[in-house]
């Protein structure tokens, strides 16, 4: 099989002739169609609650990292006109409402083009963490800590790893937005791997995509965050702010920079 090639991107970093990583391929139109139910209303509830726990998010430069179509950013910018977003997916950034465009940057979070110590807050909504190797994930957490100004806040909206492992559905098929997704899920090492066969119901076009997310237990995430100079302020198990329990759908950690 020929390796996939990528053109150098607009920020001037290029991976050259390498096979694309799963997260470079999956977050496109099919993702947007299948996850359309992750919508503005969910974002409104989540951002509203985060602002109550971390009012700092309404002040100064705040980065919505891996912002996708900007559904959270749009809400946050009503409270904070300095909030901005960053994502790797040209397609999802292109779906953002026109008014957000000046506040969006395309970049790979492994090479964040932001100066250290300048951000009042960073939000990672709906599990954009754990995509890389352990070393790269740790390096990203350290970098997030370094980008924050003293007393800055980090919102880490991550899955409930134990619940995911305990309730894993090995196979299912869903149809949404004109796409059928037949998914097979497995735990491989410490990662949740989902392999999907996607069929466009109008054209019959078929493609394979995958997700591979490292399942970090909350204590592992917290240890990583502490090493990045962050201290846990609050944990929530839902977007509306309920306490985290072993059955919570999310693990949402709100951290503050310790110095």
Ligand X SMILES: C[S@@+](CC[C@H](N)C(=O)[O-])C[C@H]1O[C@@H](n2cnc3c(N)ncnc32)[C@H](O)[C@@H]1O
H helices present in 150-233, as ranges? 161-166, 218-227
Q: Is 23 in the site for ligand X (CB under 6 A)?
A: yes
> How many Cβ atoms sit within 10 Å of the Cβ of residue 95?
14
The residue from 84, 103, 125, 255 that contacts ligand X (CB under 6 A) is 125
Are 153 and 233 within 8 A, CB to CB?
A: yes
- All residues at 6 or more sequence positions from 208 whose CB lies less than 8 Å from its CB, including other chains: 195, 196, 197, 198
129 to 158: interface string for ligand X, x by CB under 6 A: --x---------------------------
The residue from 6, 15, 38, 138 that contacts ligand X (CB under 6 A) is 38
Nearer to ligand X, 87 or 256 (CB): 87
Stretch binding ligand X (CB under 6 A), from 1-9, 86-94, 169-177, 188-196: 86-94
Stretch binding ligand X (CB under 6 A), from 67-75, 160-168, 186-194, 244-252: 67-75
Are 107 and 86 within 8 A, CB to CB?
A: yes
Q: Rounded to the nearest whole angstrom, what is the least distance from the CB of residue 13 to ligand X in the complex?
A: 11
Q: Is 108 in the site for ligand X (CB under 6 A)?
A: yes
Q: Which 219-238 positions form the footprint of ligand X (CB under 6 A)?
A: none
Q: Rounded to the nearest whole angstrom, what is the least distance from the CB of residue 127 to ligand X in the complex?
A: 5
What's the farthest any 2 CA atoms get from each other in the chain?
55
Are 199 and 218 within 8 A, CB to CB?
A: no
Task: Provide the CB-side half-sphere exposure for 43 (13 A, CA).
Answer: 21
The residue from 6, 45, 60, 127 that contacts ligand X (CB under 6 A) is 127
The residue from 88, 144, 179, 192 that contacts ligand X (CB under 6 A) is 88
- Residues 32 and 46: their CA atoms lie apart, in Å, by 19
Q: 3-state DSSP call for residue 206? A: strand
Q: Which of 255, 29, 25 is nearest to 141 (CA)?
A: 255
The residue from 80, 89, 183, 222 that contacts ligand X (CB under 6 A) is 89
- Where does this chain bind ligand X (CB under 6 A)? 23, 27, 38, 66-68, 71, 87-89, 92, 108-110, 125-128, 131
């Amino acid at each position: 099989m020929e390796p996939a090639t990528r053109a150098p991107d607009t920020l001037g970093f290029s991976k050259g002739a390498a096979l694309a990583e799963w997260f470079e391929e999956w977050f496109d139109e099919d993702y947007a169609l299948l996850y359309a139910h992750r919508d503005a209303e969910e974002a409104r509830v989540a951002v509203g609650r985060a602002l109550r726990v971390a009012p700092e998010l309404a002040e100064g430069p705040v980065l919505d990292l891996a912002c996708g179509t900007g559904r959270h950013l749009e809400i946050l910018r009503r409270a904070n006109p300095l909030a901005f977003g960053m994502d790797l997916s040209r397609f999802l950034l292109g779906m953002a409402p026109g008014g957000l465009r000046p506040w969006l940057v395309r970049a790979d979070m492994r090479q964040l083009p932001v100066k250290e110590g300048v951000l009042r807050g960073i939000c990672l909504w709906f599990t954009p963490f754990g995509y890389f190797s352990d070393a790269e994930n740790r390096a990203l957490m350290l970098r997030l800590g370094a980008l924050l100004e003293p007393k800055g806040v980090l919102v880490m909206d991550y899955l409930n790893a134990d619940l995911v492992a305990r309730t894993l559905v090995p196979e299912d098929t869903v149809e949404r937005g004109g796409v059928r997704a037949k998914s097979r899920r497995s735990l491989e090492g410490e990662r949740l791997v989902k392999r999907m066969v996607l069929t466009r119901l109008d054209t019959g076009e078929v493609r394979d995509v995958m997700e591979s997310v490292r399942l970090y237990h909350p204590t592992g995430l917290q240890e990583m965050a502490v090493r990045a100079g962050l201290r846990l302020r609050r944990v929530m198990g839902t977007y509306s702010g309920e306490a985290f329990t072993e059955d919570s759908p999310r693990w949402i950690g709100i951290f503050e920079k310790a110095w």
